[in-house]
Amino acid sequence: MMSQYLALKAEAEDCLLFYRMGDFFELFFDDAKIASACLDIALTARGEHEGTRIPMCGVPVHAMEGYLARLIKAGHRVAIAEQTETPEAARKRMGSKALVNRAIVRVVTAGTLTEETLLDSRSANWCVVIGEAGGQVAIACADISTGRFDVVESDPDRVGAEIARLSPAETIASDATGFADLANVLRPRADFDSAGGEERLKRLFGVATLDGFGSFSRAALAAAGGLVAYLEHTAKGSLPFLRPPSLSQTDAAMAIDAATRESLELTTSTAGARKGSLLDSVDRTVTGAGARLLGADIAAPLMDRRAIEARLDLVRRFHDDSGLRESVRAALRALPDIGRALGRLAAGRGSPRDLGQLRDGLDGAWRLGERLGAIADKPALLDDLAPMLRGHGALIDLLTRALVPEPPVDAAQGGYIAEGYDAALDDLRDSGAGGRRAIAALEAEYRARTGIGALKIRHNGVLGYHIEVPARAADALMAQDSGFTHRQTLAGVVRFNAPELHDVALRVTQAGAHALAAEAAHLEDLTVTALDRREPIAATADALARIDVAAGLAERAAEGGWARPTLVDHGCFEIEGGRHPVVEDAVARSGGRFVANDCTLSESSRLWLVTGPNMGGKSTFLRQNALIAVLAQAGSYVPATRATLGLVDRLFSRVGASDNLARGRSTFMVEMVETAAILAQATPRSFVILDEVGRGTSTYDGLAIAWAVVEAIHEDNRCRCLFATHYHELTRLAERCEALTLHHVRAREWKGDLVLLHEVADGPADRSFGIAVARLAGLPPATLKRAKAVLDKLEAGRAKTGGLAAGLDDLPLFAAVAEQEAAAVDALRDALDGLDLDALSPREALDTLYRLKALAREG
């Protein structure tokens, strides 16, 4: 056995090997140690190998999916080695000591999951492959849980951004590629041959040419072929469902690099969770497929204005008709996820319940299509979608007749084919039911004959049907003339057989086995029939998802008072009453009110320099405008009173401080790398938000860098940009940069407290209110007082000499100031102790207060 195991382990390569032994999957050697620690299960030992005990652990077959989920989440890949013959077949083949044949039937990886329990219903599960050929690069990506298959031809410098957009569960590249650092799985170079890739695709889709799918470059063929080769490797020749590839270019969507996605928290928060992201704030979809599509839309805002307007028209139709919106959302909410049910069936991992989901989902889609097809004033996109919901009548009727109303997940127990669908199957079930009635009658007869009231006829997988009596009553049945044959003695009970029971049990067992075989044959036929319509079923699933997204966005717009954006061809960016949707939600939950702000960028004012205090709302203002651009081009209404936007080709965000110590980059280094990328890539059609550039180094260095960056954006990139800073010196650039305008977030000091108004106004801020913010943060009073003294010196020195640090030479040290203040406190305490308050006249009391105040001021 161990030789067989080691051979399979060598085939499994770097995967953990689940080795089927009866009702358990066993792991051995280092695999056992890894799994034991990850799954928190007992590590035992079995036999010896090369003189050493073999570590071992196992998981029950019936609970495998839960353990698989934990291993995959921990980053492992698992090869499943199943028994490919029965023990009886092995004995016939090799005799009593025969070893059952086993083979790896599947490699389970994060990117090749289809099981419902292993997937997040509201997130796509992308498996991504990077291919390159002839200096070109392409990315092939598939979500095999739904069959979606996309190929994107990319510039080499945009590959990282595309990977960030997809947020794949698994990324594969050639072990000889320059993109190996982006992949978590490396495969042989031969898998990425473009000619071989073309042949794989032709064979997969049964075509003589790929021209019907698009004009594929060599890099696209290399990537797509590499993806198919990887899926063949993991599925061991049984490919999952893939739809024909959809070919696109990276410039079809707004370019958003990984740093910007993280900064803006588009689909996940900085903590890596969906909660707190833009997607979470916007999502009002009621189906898993709709949620997955909305995530894709936000991750890849469109550049095609006509396509965006088509989405917006559909959102408007649902937004303006609340009754239609509510009825459509109610219908969608009741539908199962037919896309993923189809994916499981196509991958050979389907169940009767998946067929039932197809039946119910297609039937519901048909009825929804009828309703939507009849409404007036249909937008063009709905005209296209409504017919996709219909057209499955024959399949719906077949599945309705063939299946019970609620088919089970486990096909092994039968019971999913409806009565009346197959007369022969009904007869077998009747025979089985008659046999079970005969067994019940036998049980009554045996009780009467033996006088043993506790006698029962039971069934298990080893003995089959048998008679069981308490041990104290077994003697009478042990007699040779009793008509019963002893089978087994256990603690407290004894088991017997009888000729009559054997004959009846044989009929029941045979009828049951034949019924199960008949149901299995029907299941296979029904699955084949359904898969013959896989393409139109997948199209129906897509149409339902698009309708769900539109209705959900309409719901979000209605509840938030959002506006439809107006898209124009020139480079304007005009927002009235703009809000940050995530922050607005958080403020509302705390009982507050979000302060909306305007933003008007035009050719004469395309660069805003925004000053003002920390916590005043600069970063929120910057981000909300970037998010409005994303939502608008994704086809959504936006959180504003009015919005008129020129399309954004590239979006950049350099907001907040972070480091990447694993790659040897400090916070300032990361800031400079990201700023360099912006200056190298931003075009006049881009939108850029920058916050506190240059703050990670010395004041003079930082000011110089910020100054140069502002000039470069204004003169060279000429993009729309919001630039927030504390360097008030930069406001002087307004004198020489004709498209730069000055703005600030308003704040006031009232009775020593800082009041943050969160309003954006024209002109520069008069100061940064840094010490006031520090007071809000809870700095000790002595430290705040010392900071104020240093600030006064700095400002006085600058006014006198123009030097930033002038006047600091004669500034006493903090310790010396502290000693002076301590002495003043002592003097004030002594003066107070010397007072006889009862003896003071009103006039004397007033004079004493003035004297104490003067003493405190001197300190």
| 248: phi then psi, degrees, rounded to nearest 5 | -145, 170
Q: Could you write out the DSSP letters of every residue in 87-111?
A: HHHHHHHH-TTPPPPEEEEEEE-GG
Residue 399 corresponds to which tokens in the numbers above? 């599945």
Distance CA(390)–CA(392), nearest Å, equals: 6
| 175: phi then psi, degrees, rounded to nearest 5 | -70, -5
Q: Cβ contacts of residue 280 below 8 Å, gap of 6+?
A: 269, 274, 582
Q: Which of 584, 674, 693, 569 lies closest to 628, judged by CA? A: 584
Judged by DSSP in three states, 284 sits in coil
Distance CA(726)–CA(527), nearest Å, equals: 65
| Helices vs. strands in the chain: H and E counts, helices first | 28, 27
Cβ(134)–Cβ(216) below 8 Å: no
Distance CA(835)–CA(840), nearest Å, equals: 8
Distance CA(730)–CA(107), nearest Å, equals: 58
Cβ(742)–Cβ(764) below 8 Å: yes
Per DSSP, helices labelled H in 713-833 are 770-777, 781-801, 814-833
Compute the Cα dihedral for 275, 281, 284, 285 and give only its sign: negative
Binding-site annotation: residue ranges: 612-619
Q: Cβ contacts of residue 859 below 8 Å, gap of 6+?
A: 820, 821, 823, 824, 825, 827, 828
Distance CA(166)–CA(127), nearest Å, equals: 9
CA 778 to chain centre: 38
Whole-Å CA distances, 355 to 235, 364, 494: 22, 14, 45
Judged by DSSP in three states, 481 sits in coil
Cβ(554)–Cβ(636) below 8 Å: no
Cβ(231)–Cβ(245) below 8 Å: no
Cβ(154)–Cβ(139) below 8 Å: yes
Rounded CA Rg of the chain: 37
First to last CA, the chain: 89
Binding-site annotation: residue ranges for ATP: 612-619
Cβ(697)–Cβ(689) below 8 Å: no
Q: Which of 447, 507, 494, 437 lies closest to 466, judged by CA? A: 494
Number of neighbouring beta carbons within 10 Å of residue 404? 14
Judged by DSSP in three states, 148 sits in strand
Residue 396 corresponds to which tokens in the numbers above? 């719906």
Cite the beta strand spans of 516-559 per DSSP E: none
Distance CA(200)–CA(10), nearest Å, equals: 26
Cβ(343)–Cβ(401) below 8 Å: no
Q: Cβ contacts of residue 1 below 8 Å, gap of 6+?
A: 99
Distance CA(563)–CA(636), nearest Å, equals: 9
**β 566-568/607-611 pair status:** unpaired
Distance CA(357)–CA(343), nearest Å, equals: 12
Cβ(55)–Cβ(41) below 8 Å: no
